[in-house]
Amino acid sequence: MRKSAIAASIMALAMALAGCGATSGDAGGQNAGSGQLSWSSSSERQLREALERRAVHGLDHVTFAADGASQAGEALTQEALRYARALALGATSPEELFEIYTIPRPRPDLLQGLTRALSDGHLDNWLEGLAPQSEAYRRLSKAYMELEAKKASPSPRIPLKDDPLEPGDSDPRIPAIARQLAASDYLDNPASAGNRYTPDMVRAVKRMQADYGIKPDGIIGKDALEILNLSDADRARALAVAMERLRWLERNPPATRIDVNTAAGRLTYWRDGKAVDTRKAVVGEPGEETPQLGSPIYRLVANPTWTVPRSIQEKEFADKGSNYLQTHNMAWQDGWIVQQSGPENSLGLVKFDMKNDHAIYLHDTPAKSLFQQVQRQRSHGCVRVQDALGFAELLARDEGVLDQWRKARAKGDEAFVSLPREIPVRLLYQTVLFDAKGDPVVRADPYGWDDRVAVALGFGSAKSHLLRNATGDIGP
């Protein structure tokens, strides 16, 4: 369990984490001795044309020296490598932008690739092949270019009027508000509202207001409308960030793995290249963010005990007396507060042990109601899994240790079942999802992490609306 801290210098910390992936100084071989590569007029033209088309990757706000300017020799080589790195690894470095980022990164040899592309005369094909080739990336790119085409006549923002919208009001802004409530998972059927502010919409707005610390009165005033109001520029910005985040990821991740999208509170289990299971997850609240980690599950823990971390102990237990500890099956042991096994244990009935230096893991929880929340950033940083026992059974069956797991569960005390092979887990952060038709939908940015990526890509800063957690939950 980690307690978030503001780094005094993100750059200095990124250097300490340089082993986690390629940083901007490495660039997949960019700064290796490139010698004097031979540039033909055709290759120069292909590079400039590729740079002119870089909006398809959401990189049109990033400036490149070879973009229309006269370059030659080594300078042209370095700009080609810089653009290649932007496509292959990202134009930004997550290790520099974030306190913790250990998700596996691509590691192409860009200098070797450029040398070969210049030799065979197909620089354009090589560059395009560096970006992700997934359907998700193509859909993000298509949506971004559609918004680019609308720049001359963008969709208007939902106008803010002097009088707030109250329950029962009729207003032409209602359909746009209903659509965004649905995109954010607060409303199921946006088409049913018409132009009337219906009771279903009022309930949805109240839930949203409570999540963001606004008085939950159902009245749509300035604060509520700011959260719902996405302009075309806001959407384009989010799509560009989503593409950048995909460029950070290795192109061929393990076929069997677990991906957790902490921005959306969703877990997906991939088995042999197919998504075979998806379920809700509760992740770290703002200020106790679940870090972006690549870290495998190596064993299942049945009936776990919980040793309360110092950070939670100091924050949550300062005013708790001995009666509270006894009521919650806790006791002091060797200077630590330890909660014994049982259905009310904060880890629930199963823990998925992971290998990382930040004490982050997946686990069960007795606080089942949190899975019904729309914004599920409610924990102290670890990941709580919906129907965790069912998920443990699924993993145990797939890994051939189901009998051992069931025997461990039946003991009632803490017991460990090692997996025959580790299952990679990626704790990702992606604020753009896809609806049933495959169209990108911009969701909330609960940690405000998109802003630092967008600014690094050349977009302006934007106001973030952070979740206000009032659960008082003590669990990890």
* Closest among 375, 368, 338 to 473, alpha carbons compared: 368
Query: Tokens 């120069």 identify what position?
Result: 44
* Closest among 59, 104, 121, 101 to 84, alpha carbons compared: 59
Catalytic residue among 57, 61, 363, 380: 363
Amino acid identity of residue 417, one-letter, is V
443 near 184, Cβ under 8 Å?
yes
Q: Is 61 a catalytic residue?
A: no
* Closest among 431, 427, 400, 389 to 268, alpha carbons compared: 427
* Closest among 256, 303, 299, 254 to 277, alpha carbons compared: 256
- Would you tell me how many other CB atoms lie within 10 Å of the CB of residue 228? 21
Amino acid identity of residue 380, one-letter, is H
- Would you tell me how many other CB atoms lie within 10 Å of the CB of residue 63? 9
* Closest among 50, 47, 111, 44 to 81, alpha carbons compared: 111
Longest C-alpha distance within the chain, in Å? 80
Q: Is 363 a catalytic residue?
A: yes
Cα(88)–Cα(372) distance, integer angstroms: 38
Cα(353)–Cα(298) distance, integer angstroms: 6
Catalytic residue among 20, 57, 380, 382: 382
**For 55, how many CA atoms within 13 A lie in the half-sphere containing its CB?**
11
Active site residues per annotation: 363, 382
